[in-house]
Structure 1
Amino acid sequence: MTKAQGDLMEREAHLRSILDTVPEAMVIADEAGVISSFSVAAEKLFGYTAEEVCGKNVKILMPQPDRDAHDEYISRYLATGERHIIGYGRVVTGQRKDGSLFPMELAVGEAIANGRRIFTGFIRDLSSRHKIEEELRQAQKMEAIGQLTGGLAHDFNNLLTIIGGNLEMIENKLHDENLRSLLREAQGAAEEGAKLTGQLLAFGRRQPLHPKLLDVGQLVSGFSDLLRRTLGESVEFRTVISGSENTALVDASQLQNAILNLVLNARDAMPRGGSLSIEISRVRLDADYAQMYPQVRAGNFVLITVTDTGTGMSADIKQRAFEPFFTTKGVGSGTGLGLSMVYGFAKQSGGHVQLYSEMGRGTSVRIFLPVVQKETLASHSQGQADKAQSAIPGGSEKILVVEDDARVRRVAVLRLVDAGYKVVEASNGKEALERLGENLDVALLFTDIVMPGGMTGDELAETVRVTRPEIKILFTSGYAEPTIAGRELAQSGTWLKKPYTARELAVLLRELLD
């Protein structure tokens, strides 16, 4: 072997080692499209070995209609020099050996060696990037829908507060039993409306949460009998709890509602029976996992997985499953808010939710809740005494009512006057401070949280705490604004959700004033 031949072989080996380690796939073909070289990365990407494709036309790596159009494109380029891919980077679709399709970025270079024209294609798999982009688009869409539905539900709650309050006051003055039955029917409809807006607020992450430290495994075990009865005898049901530290800071009743919604959906997806499991475990999501899903953060979570063997969902249905009012059930069989509520609840609790499903193979919904160390559990108690009383308690103190909606304010004032209180009213924070200056005997501030005029309810409260620390404060709102009425206010018991009843208002007032 001559020195020149040795140098040539060395350069070829060096070049081959470089090409085999480049992460992008490389394919070399002649002007007839026949493959002459197929890199290691290309083998991994397309599923073919180099021996299987070398000597075959490059269109074997293309789906239809690109496959049939390839020869014509090469012929037109050789005849006219018109370029569509050569010398440019383009996003196209590739086809693997197993027939699966994937997005790829293709850059094609051209060279002439020994009088022969060759084309070198460098290919980058875009599957992961497209998945991340799609996840981000979906997260942004859900955020926009959540803001819209949450805002609408908040406004509807104000209307329901007016309707319910007026009906309640009419009931006390109505003696015709026939009319009272009609009124109670209207009250029932208002209560159903409140439940509906509650579900919308849950999706929009604006529902009032009362989170407490609890063991999620114990919670699920505690109401598994109810779930078993809900499913019926045709569905095999089991719960699996892994580990003993599955503690999270979460609203117990809302978590039960979320799980019950998932169980009901699973039951409806198994009309001929099947099996359903609820699994509780601790998981850690790392940074690499979080990068795949823009709405997910890394950390330790309690994972609740509800899995059924039902009909499953198509890709199109999965894409819209969490949207409010989207349902595949018949008319009158569902509102389409069950999964929406689960989605919003998980997000508002600091976690997230994921859905896996295939047609004919069932569905698995996973709720991730942030882990809380068990040793802090002892300082919290879940039990609360029953506050129901036979009569609505009254009082004689002076209360300042601050509410920008005049109709809602009128209902609140009438309820307080009926209960014996003296009332001063204001429509915004600035006016409220003026009323306080005129009334030195105000005992309690009852204020909406979100108000126009440049001063929110919590800002008003902070001013009152400094200037008049003896005044008690009670907040109300159509939703729990995360940046204002957060966990601290909810846990302190100084928060009342609209629409509220006269009893709920009266009982909370006496708790604060006494």
Structure 2
Amino acid sequence: MAKHCTRAVPPYPQDSVHIYEALRKSEERYRELVEHANSIILRWDKNGIITFFNEYAQRFFGYGEEEIIGQHVVGTIVPASESTGRDLRPLMDHICNNPEEHHYNINENITRSGARVWVAWTNKLLTNDDGETIGVLSIGSDITKQRLLEEELRQAQKMQAIGELAGGIAHDFNNMIHGITGYAEVIQQITCDARVAEYINHILTTAQHAAELTRQLLTFARKGNYQLTECNTHEIIRDVCAMLERTIDRRIHVARQLDAGRPHVMGDPTQLKSALLNLGINAKDAMPSGGALQFQTSNITISTPIKISDFEIERGEYLLINISDSGTGMPAEIRRRIFEPFFTTKESGRGAGLGLAAVYGTTHLHKGAIRCRSREGEGSSFDLYLPIIRDCTKLTRQRQRTPAPQQQIRIMVVDDEAIVRQYSKTLFEMHGHEVETFSCAEEAINFYRENYENIDLVLLDMIMPRMDGQQLFAFLKRINPDIRAMLSTGYSVDSKVQEILADGILDCIPKPFTYEQLQEKIEALIQDGQLKPD
């Protein structure tokens, strides 16, 4: 039998042309898809060397293809460490050697210009025909804006939590300082020893400094006492500049450019002046060898509501105050924390870290916003937004009061702090007043129901357990609609105080206060006819 030999029949030449043409077009479509995709696409070998960089990646990172191919990822598009401090070199090595463990990861990257960006990466292992790892295909999406928003949210939540903590601490501290101040005044009244009197003055001065710290904490926590009135910010800025010119290094040139046609805002002049002064002092500390400090104002219109950090700006007319300096500037990690209480870069003993925290609180209380822009070596700039008054009247001056002879009255003190009750009774009675003290609302109500006709003034603590000062005032007012009462508080939320004042309470006095301050309030009420002792 004849053997038949089979031979492979080569494809027709025409078929080969079609196959190669199809492959070529397929490869072109693939390359075009990869090159023009709206994603960062790159390929790098197991040693970290970039072997492919698509057009989008080139535009995003700012590198041309000839510049980036053959370069290591670390030092080009990946910084050695993130701004958070995380070392990225071990991470890149681990992805190269164990890419199967890093199908998805997020890390900070860096562009050719030095800008820090955040990218979410999807990584796919590349192998050869023998299954050996030869590199990684990475596809990235820019999530910088999302990351910044998340960071702002976390920062806002942290600041809110710190504010609540600060407010609670300051309230308790104010009660303690109030007791220290009170008993120091008692000793001052009964001593004839010059050395003891001198020591008492030291105690009172130290207590005043402690009270100032708690006031700054309360301002940060947005629970400070403040009184809103129409005020001209240009006058405030002139005062602040004059004060700075007299007190800071003469090598620092203080300038002002007040271009705002409508500089009036509804605010507390004292707190606004303190905020601007704090910003000026902060700028001074950033210019140890001298420089320029400038205050500028302008009017702007906000057409749509905007959010700056955790400040929300509604539509309307605003005054923009810009405070800029030519100082050392700040890196991003410090700039993010400057408004936190007790955070400071100054040497020990040169600051408590509450100045900018108080500025932050003042801004919130005035329904404004503040933003800081700064880079190392390029100075700092603060933008302060405050809602303006469309039609303002001239600022009215408080009429001068003539001192009146001190009159003795019958006072009822309600406070849950024992030291406040004890010192109040001791000190007030030393000045001829009759005083009854109570630790809780129930005792006060029972006594007032039987004796309200013999009580000239009720001094109420704002924050008490079970029934606060506002609730107790409402209850006592039902007993006696003509009640004369004053609020005493370690801190106060302005809206609460305004509510109580609207309900008929005579005045509010912040703790810690001295007897002299209380007596001034009492005399003013008597002169106005609001308090009529028998």
TM range (shorter): 0.7 to 0.9
Query: 2:389 corresponds to which residue?
Result: 373
Query: 2:480 corresponds to which residue?
Result: 468
Q: Is the 8 Å Cα contact of residues 217 and 246 (structure 1) preserved in structure 2?
A: yes
**One-letter amino acid of the structure 2 residue matched with residue 215 of structure 1:** N
Whether 2:514 is the aligned partner of 1:501: answer yes
Q: Is the 8 Å Cα contact of residues 100 and 124 (structure 2) preserved in structure 1?
A: no
318 and 162 in structure 1: CA distance in 2 versus 1, 3 angstrom threshold: same
Whether 2:201 is the aligned partner of 1:221: answer no
387 and 357 in structure 1: CA distance in 2 versus 1, 3 angstrom threshold: farther
Mapping for residues 303-382 of structure 1, pairs under 5 Å: 303-369=320-386, 371-375=387-391, 377-378=392-393, 381-382=395-396
Q: Quick one: distance in 2 between partners of 1:58 and 1:333?
A: 45
Q: Quick one: distance in 1 between partners of 2:191 and 2:52?
A: 93
Q: What per-residue deviation string (whole Å, max 9, x for no partner) do you get for residues 461-500 of structure 1?
A: 1223344220022101111135633587499861001111
Q: Is the 8 Å Cα contact of residues 226 and 494 (structure 2) preserved in structure 1?
A: no
Whether 2:282 is the aligned partner of 1:270: answer no
Whether 2:398 is the aligned partner of 1:384: answer yes
237 and 492 in structure 1: CA distance in 2 versus 1, 3 angstrom threshold: farther
Question: What's the CA shift for 1:46?
Answer: 1.8
Q: Is the 8 Å Cα contact of residues 424 and 435 (structure 1) preserved in structure 2?
A: no
Whether 2:445 is the aligned partner of 1:433: answer yes
Q: What per-residue deviation string (whole Å, max 9, x for no partner) do you get for residues 1-58 of structure 1?
A: x999999999999989987886433457899987567244x343222356766x7679
Larger radius of gyration: 2
Whether 2:465 is the aligned partner of 1:444: answer no
Q: Quick one: distance in 1 between partners of 2:187 and 2:88?
A: 73
Question: What's the CA shift for 1:194?
Answer: 1.8
Q: Quick one: distance in 2 between partners of 1:498 and 1:508?
A: 14
Q: Quick one: distance in 1 between partners of 2:79 and 2:199?
A: 66
Q: Quick one: distance in 1 between partners of 2:219 and 2:90?
A: 52
471 and 12 in structure 1: CA distance in 2 versus 1, 3 angstrom threshold: farther
Question: What's the CA shift for 1:225?
Answer: 2.2
Q: Is the 8 Å Cα contact of residues 394 and 419 (structure 1) preserved in structure 2?
A: no
**One-letter amino acid of the structure 2 residue matched with residue 439 of structure 1:** N
Q: Quick one: distance in 2 between partners of 1:196 and 1:68?
A: 45
Question: What's the CA shift for 1:458?
Answer: 0.7
SS at match of 1:367: strand
SS at match of 2:496: coil
Q: Quick one: distance in 2 between partners of 1:254 and 1:230?
A: 20
Which one of 254, 265, 270 corresponds to residue 271 of structure 2? 254
Query: 2:159 corresponds to which residue?
Result: 142
SS at match of 1:413: helix
Mapping for residues 141-180 of structure 1, pairs under 5 Å: 141-180=158-197
Q: Quick one: distance in 2 between partners of 1:69 and 1:134?
A: 23
Q: Is the 8 Å Cα contact of residues 224 and 492 (structure 2) preserved in structure 1?
A: yes
Question: What's the CA shift for 1:437?
Answer: 1.2
Query: 1:92 corresponds to which residue?
Result: 107
Q: What per-residue deviation string (whole Å, max 9, x for no partner) do you get for residues 113-144 of structure 1?
A: x9999986432112222222222233333333
Question: What's the CA shift for 1:91?
Answer: 1.5
**One-letter amino acid of the structure 1 residue matched with residue 493 of structure 2:** E
Q: TM-score, normalised by structure 1?
A: 0.82
Query: 1:399 corresponds to which residue?
Result: 411
Q: Is the 8 Å Cα contact of residues 260 and 319 (structure 2) preserved in structure 1?
A: no
Q: Quick one: distance in 1 between partners of 2:92 and 2:196?
A: 79
Q: Is the 8 Å Cα contact of residues 210 and 487 (structure 1) preserved in structure 2?
A: no
Q: Is the 8 Å Cα contact of residues 485 and 505 (structure 2) preserved in structure 1?
A: no
Q: Is the 8 Å Cα contact of residues 132 and 294 (structure 1) preserved in structure 2?
A: no
Q: Quick one: distance in 2 between partners of 1:36 and 1:313?
A: 37
Q: Quick one: distance in 2 between partners of 1:210 and 1:204?
A: 16
Q: What per-residue deviation string (whole Å, max 9, x for no partner) do you get for residues 282-303 of structure 1?
A: 345676852x734444444433
**One-letter amino acid of the structure 1 residue matched with residue 531 of structure 2:** L
Number of residue pairs aligned between Structure 1 and Structure 2: 497
Q: Is the 8 Å Cα contact of residues 264 and 388 (structure 2) preserved in structure 1?
A: yes
Question: What's the CA shift for 1:406?
Answer: 1.5
133 and 195 in structure 1: CA distance in 2 versus 1, 3 angstrom threshold: same
SS at match of 1:440: helix
Query: 1:44 corresponds to which residue?
Result: 59
Q: Quick one: distance in 1 between partners of 2:505 and 2:272?
A: 20
Q: Quick one: distance in 2 between partners of 1:386 and 1:308?
A: 40
Q: Is the 8 Å Cα contact of residues 276 and 308 (structure 1) preserved in structure 2?
A: yes
132 and 287 in structure 1: CA distance in 2 versus 1, 3 angstrom threshold: farther
Question: What's the CA shift for 1:386?
Answer: 4.7
Query: 1:513 corresponds to which residue?
Result: 531
Q: Quick one: distance in 1 between partners of 2:472 and 2:95?
A: 72
RMSD: 4.0
**One-letter amino acid of the structure 1 residue matched with residue 381 of structure 2:** S
Mapping for residues 14-53 of structure 1, pairs under 5 Å: 23-27=38-42, 38-40=54-56, 42-49=57-64
Which one of 420, 440, 452 corresponds to residue 408 of structure 1? 420
Q: Is the 8 Å Cα contact of residues 484 and 506 (structure 2) preserved in structure 1?
A: no
Q: Is the 8 Å Cα contact of residues 314 and 359 (structure 1) preserved in structure 2?
A: yes
Which one of 279, 293, 298 corresponds to residue 309 of structure 2? 293
169 and 233 in structure 1: CA distance in 2 versus 1, 3 angstrom threshold: same
Q: Quick one: distance in 1 between partners of 2:342 and 2:214?
A: 12
Q: Quick one: distance in 1 between partners of 2:169 and 2:94?
A: 56
Q: Quick one: distance in 2 between partners of 1:411 and 1:327?
A: 37
Q: Quick one: distance in 2 between partners of 1:12 and 1:287?
A: 49
**One-letter amino acid of the structure 2 residue matched with residue 407 of structure 1:** I
SS at match of 2:452: coil
Whether 2:474 is the aligned partner of 1:457: answer no
Q: Quick one: distance in 1 between partners of 2:89 and 2:180?
A: 66
Q: Is the 8 Å Cα contact of residues 269 and 310 (structure 1) preserved in structure 2?
A: yes
- Say which is worse superposed, 183-192 or 250-259, in terms of deviation: 183-192
Q: Is the 8 Å Cα contact of residues 105 and 126 (structure 1) preserved in structure 2?
A: yes
Query: What is the aligned-residue identity percentage?
Result: 28
Mapping for residues 236-251 of structure 1, pairs under 5 Å: 236-251=253-268
- Say which is worse superposed, 280-289 or 438-447, in terms of deviation: 280-289
**Structure 1: unaligned runs, 5 residues or longer:** none
Q: Is the 8 Å Cα contact of residues 429 and 455 (structure 1) preserved in structure 2?
A: yes
